[in-house]
């Protein structure tokens, strides 16, 4: 048995975590975005318990206090709102609701959409038709309008808001998953598994889902930004989150009437939204390349030249 081939030697490869870490370092924008998002998530977790009290404590002497007043404590650096509550603290506290609604909606829509997509991709043409038509109905109407109407009919609460936003985003995952399943199902390695006698369950979870997963993760990251903007818009219009709960969108809305004399009331929460959505967009762009074996070299090359 010395039939060893004279073909090219086999390349060594670093482990997965180190590899992705290196690729993240190679893209400075994505790296900053990841750090920023981690900080935001930490704030969302600890924010309300650490800053909950100071964020609702009214301080009539500090009404519409302008920002950059270095004399006061750091919590006042962004100024204060019409009731003299420090904006920085309020933004930190609002992080939780803002991210939670978006995260909830993304998780629900991603899970439901993926499951429906797998079913549609794997079942009889009739079931497939029904599911796709339902998706078309949802997609054929602007999501914000659906949300407005449903929230009007059902009343608005954090849970309803999450559900409504989730429903409007389900078709995105459904269509992607279904299209990918239909394509991957015909790939040779799935056929090979069938020839070996693999069950549908094994083919689905061992062969198809791992291939679809990176695409879905990229999509969910992008969608997180989209859902956050939608929630902000709804809260801004007054049919989303209701006071005394706060989100960034609601804070912009509350600051709107003081625009001419206290611009910072609306400016800071807007900036928070922009930075977060931008980080999500950047990270999703990075994922698109990092998860794609064909494009990955772009990041790895940059990583190696940077040292």
Partner 1 sequence: MADHLLEVRNLSVEFHTAMGTVKAVDSISYHVDRGETLAILGESGSGKSVSSSAIMNLIDMPPGRISSGEILLDGADLLRMSAEQRRQINGKRIAMIFQDPLSHLNPVYTVGWQIRETLTAHGKSSAEAQTEALRLVTRVGIPDPEHALKKYPHQFSGGQRQRIMIAMALALRPDLLIADEPTTALDVTVQAEVLALLKELQRETGMAVIIITHDLGVVTEIADRVVVMEKGALVESGTVREVYKSPQHPYTRKLIAAAPGKGEMHEPHSKGEPALSVRDVRKAYGGFQALKGISFDLMPGETLAVVGESGSGKSTLARILLRLDEPDGGSALWKGRDLFTLAPAELYKLRRDLQMVFQDPTQSLNPRMTVYQLISEAWVIHPDILPRPKWREKVAELLVQVGLSPDHMKRYPHQFSGGQRQRIAIARALALEPQLIVCDEAVSALDVSIQAQVIALLDRLRKEMGIAFIFIAHDLPVVRDFADHVMVMQKGEVVELGTVREVFEAPQQEYTRALLAASLDPDPDVQAALRAARMEHAS
Partner 2 sequence: MLSFIRKRAIASLISLVGLLVLVFFLSRLTGDPASLFLPVEASEEMKAQFRELHGLNDPIMVQFTRYVGDVLTGDLGQSLRKARPALDVVTEAFTWTLWLASITMSLVAGAAIVVGSLAAFRAGGFFDRLSSILSLIGASVPDFWLAIVAIVIFSVQLAWLPTSGTGTLLHWILPICVLFIRPFGIIVQVVRGSMITALSSAYVKTARAKGIRSGPIIFIHALRNAMLPVITVIGDQAASLLNGAVVIETIFGFPGVGKLMIDSILQRDFNVVLAAILVTALAIFLMNLLIDIAYALLDPRIRH
Q: Which residues bind partner 1 (CB under 8 A)?
A: 1, 3-5, 7-8, 10-11, 13, 187-189, 191-199, 202, 206-207, 210-211, 293, 297, 300-301, 304
Confirm or reject binding of residue 42 to partner 2 (CB under 8 A): no
How far is residue 283's CA from residue 13's CA, in Å, rounded to a whole number? 24
Instruction: Confirm if 302 and 26 have CB atoms less than 8 A apart.
Output: yes
Burial class (CB in 10 A: 0-12, 13-18, 19+), 242: middle
Instruction: Confirm if 120 and 127 have CB atoms less than 8 A apart.
Output: yes
Which of residues 190, 273, 283, 289 is near partner 2 by CB under 8 A? 273
Confirm or reject binding of residue 163 to partner 2 (CB under 8 A): no
Binding partner selected for residue 10 from partner 2, partner 1, none, CB under the kind-specific 5 to 8 Å limit: partner 1
Name the residue nearer to partner 2 (CB basis): 45 or 127.
127
How far is residue 166's CA from residue 99's CA, in Å, rounded to a whole number? 14
Residues contacting 124, CB < 8 A, separation 6+: none
Name the residue nearer to partner 1 (CB basis): 163 or 212.
212
How far is residue 119's CA from residue 9's CA, in Å, rounded to a whole number? 42
Neighbours of 213 (CB within 10 A): 13
Name the residue nearer to partner 2 (CB basis): 42 or 274.
274
Least distance to partner 1, CB of residue 2, Å: 9
Query: Total number of residues binding partner 2 (CB under 8 A)?
Result: 40
How far is residue 9's CA from residue 106's CA, in Å, rounded to a whole number? 44
Least distance to partner 1, CB of residue 216, Å: 15
Least distance to partner 2, CB of residue 153, Å: 5
Binding partner selected for residue 60 from partner 1, partner 2, none, CB under the kind-specific 5 to 8 Å limit: none
Torsion over CA of 107, 111, 112 and 116, rounded to 10 degrees? 150
Least distance to partner 2, CB of residue 97, Å: 16
Instruction: Confirm if 231 and 276 have CB atoms less than 8 A apart.
Output: no
Least distance to partner 1, CB of residue 205, Å: 12
What the block records as the tokens of 280 is 């999500």
> Which residues lie near partner 2 (CB under 8 A)?
133-134, 136-137, 140-145, 148-150, 152-154, 225, 229-230, 232-233, 236-237, 239, 249, 252, 256, 259-260, 263, 266-267, 270, 273-274, 277-278, 281-282, 285
């Amino acid at each position: 048995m010395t039939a060893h081939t004279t073909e090219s030697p086999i390349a060594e490869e670093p482990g997965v975590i180190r590899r992705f870490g290196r690729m993240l370092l190679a893209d400075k924008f994505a790296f900053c975005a990841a750090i920023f998002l981690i900080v935001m998530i930490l704030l969302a977790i600890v924010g309300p318990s650490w800053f909950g009290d100071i964020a609702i404590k009214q301080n009539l002497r500090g009404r519409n206090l302008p920002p950059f007043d270095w004399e006061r404590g750091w919590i006042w650096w962004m100024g204060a709102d019409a009731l003299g509550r420090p904006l920085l603290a309020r933004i930190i506290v609002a992080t939780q609701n803002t991210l939670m609604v978006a995260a909830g909606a993304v998780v629900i829509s991603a899970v439901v959409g993926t499951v429906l997509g797998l079913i549609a991709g794997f079942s009889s043409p009739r079931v497939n038709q029904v599911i796709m038509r339902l998706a078309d109905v949802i997609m054929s109407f602007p999501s914000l309008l659906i949300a407005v109407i449903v929230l009007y009919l059902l009343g608005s609460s954090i849970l309803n808001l999450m559900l409504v936003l989730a429903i409007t985003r389900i078709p995105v995952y459904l269509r992607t998953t279904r299209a990918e399943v239909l394509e991957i199902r015909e790939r040779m390695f799935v056929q090979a598994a069938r020839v070996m006698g693999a069950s549908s369950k094994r083919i689905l979870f061992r062969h198809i889902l791992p291939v679809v997963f990176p695409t879905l993760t990229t999509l969910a990251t992008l969608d997180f930004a989209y859902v956050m903007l939608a929630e902000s818009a709804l809260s801004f219009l007054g049919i989303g989150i209701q006071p005394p709960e706060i989100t960034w969108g609601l804070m912009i809305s509350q600051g709107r009437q003081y625009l001419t004399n206290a611009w910072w009331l609306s400016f800071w929460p807007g900036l928070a939204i922009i930075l977060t959505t931008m980080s999500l967009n950047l990270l999703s762009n990075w994922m698109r390349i990092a998860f794609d074996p064909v494009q990955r070299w772009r990041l790895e090359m940059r990583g190696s030249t940077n040292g």
